[in-house]
Each structure stands twice: as C-alpha cells, then as structure tokens.
Amino acid sequence: MNMYAIAIGAVIALAVVLLFKVWGLEETKWAYPVLLAEFPVNYWVFAIYGSDSAALLKEVLVGLAFLAVAYIAYKFKAFVTMLFLAFGYVMHAAYDLSHKLLFINAGAPTWWPEFCASVDVLIGAYIAYLSFSFRKRSVVTQLRTTRPYGSLPQMDK
C-alpha cells in the first residue's frame, strides 16, 4: 500500500469538496457526475500513453459503465440517484484497487490505484452524506409547507 498516494488522494478529495462548495458547484446537478465521468478517461489516457490498444479497449468498455452511472445521476437529481452516484464512486474505487488483477495498463503509474481509490471513496462517502441530508431537507420542506412552525391544527367550533 502506498500511504503517500492515499494521503495525497485524501487531500485532493477534501480540496475538491471544499472548492465545489465554495464555488457553488455542489448545488448544480452536473458537477459530481462530470467528475465521475472523467475518472475513466484517465485510464484511457494511460493506455494511449502506454501504446496499449488492448488495454485501451478494455478500459473503454469498463469506463462505459461509469459514464452510464454519471449520466443517470445527471439526468435525475433525487435521493436514489444521488446514492447511485455515491455507489458509482465507491465502485470506481473498487475498480482502482482490483485493476491489476483484471488486466495491466502499461501507462498507468504504480501509485495511481491507491491515489484514485482514496479520492473515490471520500467523495463517494460525501455524496452519500449529501443525499441523506438532501432527503432530510426535502422532508422538512414538505412539513414546513403543510404546517408552518408554531401553527396549531384548526379546531372545530
């Protein structure tokens, strides 16, 4: 395990979350899906860099699944699709860590799986947190619109 790669990945994940929050990207429905869709592209670039067309084909086929998850999460901003997006990030971390068992991409740096997996897991966990807070906020909003705080039910006279 490359602890430096994991630590740097954790710092990068924290920076991404903070910057998305500060820049208002967290409130958009496209920021986190686009970020997930970008992750497979890194492996495609590594395969091109390593001049490995067989690895490129395999990376593209696997990457299509993550692109599909990102597209679905982009199209529908709801509790379930946000959890699905979080699951996509965690599955990408699992893919990163099992990548060498599946096939070899000669262009990928040796430290990349641990780095990318730590980014994936932390951002995925944060999106799961957001999805539960999103659900809680929508329930509270529904309660507030049906019965404002401090108002009592009407009594028959």
pLDDT tens for the chain, residues 1 to 157: 899 999 999 999 999 999 999 999 988 889 999 999 999 999 999 999 999 999 999 999 999 999 999 999 999 878 888 999 999 999 999 999 999 899 889 999 999 999 999 999 999 999 999 988 876 665 545 445 444 444 444 545 5
Q: Mutual orientation of helices 79-102 and 112-146 as an angle, nearest 10°?
A: 170
Its sign, for the CA torsion 99, 104, 109, 110, is: positive
Q: Which of 86, 90, 101, 92 is nearest to 133 (CA)?
A: 86
Confidence at residue 28, expressed as pLDDT on a 0 to 100 scale: 86
Quote the pLDDT of residue 147.
Answer: 47
φ, ψ for residue 55 (rounded to 5)?
-65, -40
Q: Are 109 and 3 in contact (CB under 8 A)?
A: no
| Domain map (residue ranges) of the chain | 3-140
For the chain, helix, strand, coil in percent to 5 are 80, 0, 20
- What's the alpha-carbon Rg for the chain, to the nearest Å? 20
End-to-end C-alpha distance for the chain, whole angstroms: 73
Give the integer Cα–Cα distance in Å for 35 and 48: 21
Please state the pTM of the whole predicted model. 0.83
Give, in degrees to the nearest 5, the angle at Cα 137 between 132 and 139: 95
